[in-house]
Amino acid sequence: MKLTDYVTEFLQKKGIHDFFGYQGTMIAHLVDSIEHNANTKSHSSYNEQGAAFAACGYAQAKDSCACAYATSGPGAVNLLSGVADAYFDSLPVIFITGQLNTYEYSGIDGLRQQGFQEIDIVSMAKPVTKYAVQIREAQDIVRELNLAWQIANTGRKGPVLIDLPMNIQRGEVSDPVYDMKFSDEETEAAVYNRKDGGNGAAFYREAVDKADSADAAEAAKEILCKLKEAKRPVFMIGHGAAGSGEKILVDIARKHQIPVITSVLARSVLAWDDPLNCGCIGGAYGHRYANMIANAKSDLLVCFGISLCTRQIGTKVHEFARGAQIVRVDIDPYNLQREIHEGREGEKCFCVSAEDVAERLAAAESRISSYGDWLEVCRRIRRELTQVDDETPERYPNRMIAYLSDQLGDTGAVAVDVGQHMVWSYQSFHNKQDQKILFSGGHGAMGYALPAAIGAHYATGKPVACICGDGAFQMNIQELQWVKRENIPVKMVVMNNEALGMIRHLQRDYFDCVYADTSDGSGFSSCDFSDVAKAYGIRAKRIQGEDVENASGEFLEQNGPELLEIMLENGTYAYPKTCLGEPIHNQQPYIPKPIFDELMEI
């Protein structure tokens, strides 16, 4: 059996039918195999970064593994931003790169390049993959592909990379295996030893041992004990609980009236108007009410698969939730080494999967009390602080997002790019139940949303949308041709303030309003995106911000791909925002003192 036929069939049997990439001489055998497999389809991007982000969007939207490919050299390097995105956001993606024929390698140490378009992509990718390997013998692909699949899809999920020299791609594989299993020790050695000169697995085990326990039963027992003592508990859910784990946790919370706060990546765990939904935490820009409830009102935070990094809880880490006990459940032992309370006072850490603990809690949920009165306090905080924000004039883009979300209610997923519009979207998008909102979280990659939305369409089989700023959209604007070529039903919303608004806000506050490289006339400018989209043959419209409610609804109701460009004033801002040194529950513009004092007292 030809090696690339085996790779394609292996992934197809695992549920991957859509492959994202860009053709090239040194990956041509794989693309040919995808073409000849009746159950697979190759979707060509116009830059390999677009293919990588499409695979990330696919993995996010479907909660399952995806695949992206590229040819050698510049093609492989162009994948790397998407590889990093998958790594930081725990997305299982199989990346496959073509490579120089093995017989062209000289064996000369220190030679800068072995041949045309050759690059050591494995070494480049190792820091941002769980596993990266080059195949030198055709038969090795059987073990390595099975191993890579298991590594990508177990533990803290993430990307793997397999580098295939061209002559290896056309090699033969005997006795193909599709379900080879490996022990935890084997996968740990493969992942961590390659990252740390042979000692990585031992260091990983040492990191696990620093947690209070790596046993799901122990974690569930501790949580049940703390819930019995608590008056004001909160479930904090992050992307590490994605899949069946988050569904079990939401079910438990619903039965026992426990408020839920999420990370940005887990924003769509609950519909926006769900009675349990108390917003997403954010050290700088999170929901006011989420920050107040978690930081100043709760007496117990039960954290599932959420990192509690400074982006979530602020830079003064030891000041976070000082009046609350914290129980943390995370499969990544290194995340648990973030010390939240100084000396870990009142903090327990369990290195175990959120799903396993959720199942244990579900089996013992009869021992959990109901917290309806506390939930009503949280809902009051949400109502009153939402009203405070709704009355802030500078937040008019949030009101646009809220309106547009209702027009995009039938989309299966909405991919949001990076910039002020990301803040407006996670604060104000009215997502429906099971409507996914996709973000580039840890990597924060501009240019993510359009290709991610394309990947999400193939994951869900439904119309999708993306929300971008003018700076972000230009990063992968070439993928408009992909949208046109495959007639992808994606609604593209470009919020154009003709500036890099997030940085411009920073420059206003810290650089004396010198807007270097962020504003028109100061080293930055934007195009007419509606004209660009029309040039690609895509229906498009440009409107002024004040016309959103009158002019967007009918436009977005049409079938097929469409681009709506919304012109905003140059000086837009994202609020509420935590001022440096302030507690995260007291953001600018400040809550009127009578309201603040009243809410802090209840």
pLDDT tens for residues 525-547? 999 999 999 999 999 999 999 99
Point out the domain boundary residue: 154, 178, 202.
178
On whether the CB atoms of residues 258 and 371 are closer than 8 A, the answer is yes
CA angle 198, 200, 202 (to 5 degrees): 100
Are residue 322 and residue 441 in the same domain, yes or no? no
Phi then psi dihedrals of residue 419, to 5 deg:
150, -165
Candidates 56, 18, 159; CA nearest to 436 is: 56
| In a domain? residue 183 | no
Q: Specify whether 166 is located in the same domain as 69.
A: yes
Q: What would the pLDDT profile of 84-135 be if each residue is shown by its tens digit?
A: 999 999 999 999 999 999 999 999 989 999 999 999 999 999 999 999 999 9
- Whether the per-residue pLDDT at 198 is higher than 80: the answer is no
Q: Is the pLDDT of residue 473 over 90?
A: yes
- In this prediction the pTM is 0.96
- Give domain status of residue 195, yes or no: no
Domain boundary (388, 411, 443) is at 388
The domain boundary residue, chosen from 131, 160, 178: 178
Please state the rounded mean pLDDT for residues 449-468.
Answer: 98
Q: How confident is the model at residue 580 (pLDDT cuts 50, 70, 90)?
A: confident
Q: Among residues 475, 508, 511, 513, which one has the least CA distance to residue 494?
A: 475
The total number of structural domains that make up the chain: 3
pLDDT of residue 557: 87
Residue 237 belongs to domain spanning: 210-388
The two tokens of residue 110 are: 């220190």
Nearest to 68 by CA among 90, 50, 87, 46: 50
Q: Among candidates 442, 404, 435, 443, which has minimal Cα distance to 421?
A: 404
Over its C-alpha atoms, the chain yields an Rg (Å, rounded) of: 25
Together in a domain, 326 and 436: no
CA atoms within 13 A on the CB side of 244: 7
Model confidence at 194, pLDDT cuts 50, 70, 90, reads low
On whether both 256 and 356 belong to a single domain, the answer is yes
39 and 144 in a single domain? The answer is yes
Torsion sign across C-alpha atoms 48, 52, 55, 56: negative
pLDDT digit string, tens, across residues 366-384:
899 999 999 999 999 999 9
Indicate if 352 and 451 belong to the same structural domain: no
Amino acid at 578: T
Is 71 within the bounds of a domain?
Answer: yes
Residue 298: band (very low, low, confident or very high) from pLDDT cuts 50, 70, 90 = very high
Q: What percent of the chain has pLDDT over 90?
A: 94
pLDDT > 70? residue 23 = yes
Residue 366 in 3-state DSSP?
helix
Q: What is the 3-state secondary structure (H, E, C) of 220-285?
A: HHHHHHHHHHCCCEEEEECHHHCCHHHHHHHHHHHHHCCCEEECCCCHHHCCCCCCCEEEECCCCC
In tens, the pLDDT along 230-258 reads 999 999 999 999 988 999 999 999 999 99
| Co-location of 493 and 474 in the same domain | yes
SS3 content of the chain, % helix, strand, coil (to 5): 45, 15, 35
Average pLDDT estimate for 46-55:
98
What pLDDT score does 310 carry?
93
Instruction: Identify whether residues 403 and 544 lie together within a single domain.
Output: yes
Q: Tell me: do 364 and 401 sit in the same domain.
A: no
Burial class (CB in 10 A: 0-12, 13-18, 19+), 513: exposed
The lowest-confidence range among 11-25, 117-131, 327-341, 577-591 is 577-591
| pLDDT at site 581 | 80
CA separation for the pair 38, 20 (Å, rounded): 16
Angle at 365 between CA 362 and CA 368, to 5 degrees: 145
Q: Can you read off the two tokens belonging to residue 265?
A: 């990546």
Which pLDDT score, from 0 to 100, does residue 558 have? Answer: 86
pLDDT attached to residue 37 = 98
**Structure tokens that stand for 370 in this block:** 């109901």
pLDDT band at 200 (very low <50, low <70, confident <90, very high): confident
Q: What are phi and psi of 162, to 5 degrees?
A: -120, 120
Work out the mean pLDDT of the chain and round it to a whole number. Answer: 96
pLDDT for 553:
86
Same domain, yes or no: 315 and 430: no
pLDDT band at 203 (very low <50, low <70, confident <90, very high): confident
Residue 574 falls within a domain, yes or no?
Answer: no
Q: Is the pLDDT of residue 171 over 80?
A: yes
Of the pLDDT bands very low, low, confident and very high (cuts 50, 70, 90), residue 51 is: very high
Mean pLDDT of 152-160: 97
Residue 11 to residue 6: CA distance in whole angstroms: 9
Q: Is there a domain that residue 592 lies in?
A: no
DSSP H or E segment with residue 170: none
CATH number of the CATH domain containing 528: 3.40.50.970
Q: Do 17 and 163 share a structural domain?
A: yes
Angstrom distance (rounded) from CA 599 to CA 348: 29
Taking the C-alpha atoms of residue 126 and residue 120, their distance in angstroms, rounded to an integer, is 10
Residue 336 domain flag: yes
Which segments of 268-337 are extended strands (E)? 277-280, 300-304, 325-329
Q: Name the token pair of 412.
A: 């299966």
Query: DSSP letters of 90-136?
Result: T--EEEEEEE--GGG----TT-S-SSTT---HHHHHGGGSSEEEE--
Residue 599 lies in a domain: no
The reply to whether 585 falls in a domain is: no
**Is pLDDT of 145 > 90?**
yes
Residues 431 and 366 in one domain: no
What are the phi and psi torsion angles at 57 (to 5°)? -60, -40
Which tokens go with 566?
């919304």
Omega before 74 cis (within 30°)?
no
pLDDT score of 354: 97
Output the domain CATH number for residue 326: 3.40.50.1220
Q: Helix count (H) and strand count (E) of the chain?
A: 27, 18
Is the confidence at residue 218, as pLDDT, over 80? yes
The answer, yes or no, to whether residue 147 has pLDDT greater than 70, is yes
Predicted local confidence at residue 589, as pLDDT = 94
Alpha-carbon gap, residue 495 to 570, rounded angstroms: 11
